[in-house]
Amino acid sequence: MGVRRMQLLGAIWVVVAVTFSAFSHETDAHEHCRPGFATCHKGRSCKTRVSCDPQNCGKCGVKCPNAAHGQGKCENGRCTLECQWRHGWRDCDSKKGNGCEANVDTNPNHCGTCGKVCPVPLSNGIATCSKKDGCGIQCDAPFSKCGTECLNLQTDTANCGTCGNACSAPANGNSTCSGGTCSVTCNDGFMLCGGECRNVDNDASNCGTCNNSCSAPANGNAACLSGTCSVTCQDGLKLCDGKCVDLDNDASNCGTCNNACSAPANGNAACLSGTCSVSCQDGLKLCDGKCVDLDNDASNCGTCNSACYLPENGSAECSRGECGVN
């Protein structure tokens, strides 16, 4: 009787325990937790913070997954992705499936921040991005960076040898860049003189060759004809030994070139109407091309060619235009 009673009492406790357990579980399952909390673990009523638990985000059992270069986080009951910001990773396309896909330290399409695109050169290079310098350009060899372009400084006439060094082309010529040095080629019929393309056939400053300047004399004009200097004189003048002279009154070129009028002692030569003439100083008379004093010249005493008689053992003299003997 004692054993049976004990068995009966044990069965009653089992029923009570099961009933209490069922009641307790039903109570936990339907209990009302404060916002942001839930009962996700048996025996821990309203202890799970579903507002920020990445293993139970929003409700029990919802796990926030990790992704490339990022860790799953729970914020306000919603799963988010925390990127490795210190290493430059960002979720720029807002697609959770590929994680934090862009590194703003190195990605030229998201340089420094999402959506900042670095300029790409038109050709011969690529855009770059660095945490220190931001956007940049990497040019292919043998090109060099000039602004946002990759140029060949060895052959580019607008950037010859260095960026911005433009080769200028003179009139009648073309500029070239070779080996990073500017040069000029002239059109046919022209010669490079002092950085300019000159026609040496008719350029009076470069006649026949560079720097051969045709000089113009007084009262004349210089010209270059077929590479040879020439001079034209003003009306009424004649070119004599490179000078423009008046043959009517030029004592060195009287009537014709190099016909010089000679002046006797005590006289002056002149050219009148293309003919040489001589004038004597005051008190003198021109006799046979000489300027003489008729008052005391024994060969021309009183008049030209009137010579005083020369006596034996004496000398003739002329005084006041009259002959005498001394």
DSSP 100-143: S-EETTT-TTSSSSTT-PPPPPSSSEEEEEETTTEEEEEEPTT-
> Mean pLDDT, to the nearest integer, of 98-117?
96
The CA distance from 148 to 108, in Å, is 14
Partner residues linked to 176 by β-bridges: 183
pTM confidence score: 0.49
> Mean pLDDT, to the nearest integer, of 37-41?
93
Say whether pLDDT at 25 is over 70: no
Rg (Cα) of the chain, in Å, rounded? 61
- Non-local CB neighbours of 305 within 8 Å, separated by 6+ positions: 287, 288, 299
Burial of 6 (0-12, 13-18, 19+ CB in 10 A): exposed
Contacts of 314-320 spanning 24+ positions with Cβ under 8 A = 318/294, 319/295, 320/295, 320/296
The token pair at 275 is: 């003919």
Q: Mean pLDDT lowest for which of 1-10, 197-206, 234-243?
A: 1-10
Say whether pLDDT at 114 is over 80: yes
Say whether pLDDT at 29 is over 70: no
pLDDT number for residue 31: 60
pLDDT number for residue 2: 37
Amino acid at 80: T
Q: Mean pLDDT lowest for which of 1-15, 169-183, 193-207?
A: 1-15
The token pair at 236 is: 């009424």
The CA distance from 151 to 144, in Å, is 5
Q: What does pLDDT average to over the chain?
A: 88
pLDDT number for residue 324: 84
The token pair at 60 is: 């029990």
Say whether pLDDT at 27 is over 70: no
pLDDT tens by residue, 155-184: 999 999 999 999 999 999 999 999 999 999
Quick count: other Cβ atoms within 10 Å of Cβ 52?
13
Amino acid at 119: P
